[in-house]
């Protein structure tokens, strides 16, 4: 059976984000690139840990897709002259922080024909968060989920 939407050739379809609806966000883990003692302002990866203990990994793929998969956070690692990747629980560093303890009420995805999924929005009672694979980087920002058509309100 053909998928309904384009699938990333490099990373596959990943999980069905609708499976997150009704799950409560209880913890966040992020990886950060650190170079010369300075941490980049945006995470490389995010893991959303829900009330069922499931870890949903978000990252930008090598082909600019948005990878959404079930996987546990990895260990940080040294990249020699290019710095290192640090992985740790995060609190206030992403727009998801204000939704800890909230249930996911709705999801929306966007696709591109050649790369598959490129964006995912998650709705919570107090707002939404948009994740995008953009030029090979993960972008995460707060959005007003009430302005999005077709999703149930709080």
pLDDT in tens, 28-87: 999 999 999 999 888 999 999 999 999 999 999 877 889 999 999 999 999 999 999 999
- Of 73, 61, 65, 81, the C-alpha closest to 32 is 73
- pLDDT at residue number 72: 97
Mean pLDDT of the chain: 87
Using the predicted structure, report yes or no on whether residue 151 has a pLDDT greater than 50: no
Q: Which residue has the higher pLDDT, 68 or 148?
A: 68
Query: Per-residue b/e over 99-110, b at no fewer than 16 CB within 10 Å?
Result: beebbbbbbbbe
User: Can you give the pTM of this predicted structure?
Assistant: 0.87
pLDDT at residue 154 tops 50? no
Domain layout of the chain by residue ranges = 17-147
The residue with greater pLDDT, 113 or 74, is: 74
In this structure, of 37-41, 53-57, 106-110, 123-127, the range with the lowest mean pLDDT score is 37-41
Are the CB atoms for 151 and 106 separated by under 8 Å?
yes
Count of beta carbons in the 10 Å neighbourhood of residue 144:
8
Q: Is the pLDDT of residue 152 over 50?
A: no
pLDDT over 90, % of the chain: 65
């Amino acid at each position: 059976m053909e998928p309904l939407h384009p699938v990333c050739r490099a990373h596959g379809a990943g999980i069905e984000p609708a499976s997150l609806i009704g799950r409560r966000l209880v913890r966040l883990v992020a990886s950060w690139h650190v170079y010369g003692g300075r941490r980049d302002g945006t995470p490389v990866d995010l893991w959303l840990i829900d009330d069922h203990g499931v870890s949903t990994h978000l990252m930008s793929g090598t082909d600019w897709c948005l990878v959404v998969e079930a996987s546990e956070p990895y260990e940080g690692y040294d990249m020699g002259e290019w710095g290192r990747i640090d992985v740790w629980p995060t609190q206030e560093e992403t727009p998801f922080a204000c939704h800890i303890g909230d249930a996911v009420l709705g999801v929306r995805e966007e696709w591109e024909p050649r790369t598959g999924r490129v964006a995912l929005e998650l709705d919570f009672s107090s707002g939404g968060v948009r994740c995008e694979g953009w030029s090979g980087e993960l972008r995460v920002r707060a959005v007003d989920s009430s302005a999005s058509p077709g999703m149930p309100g709080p």
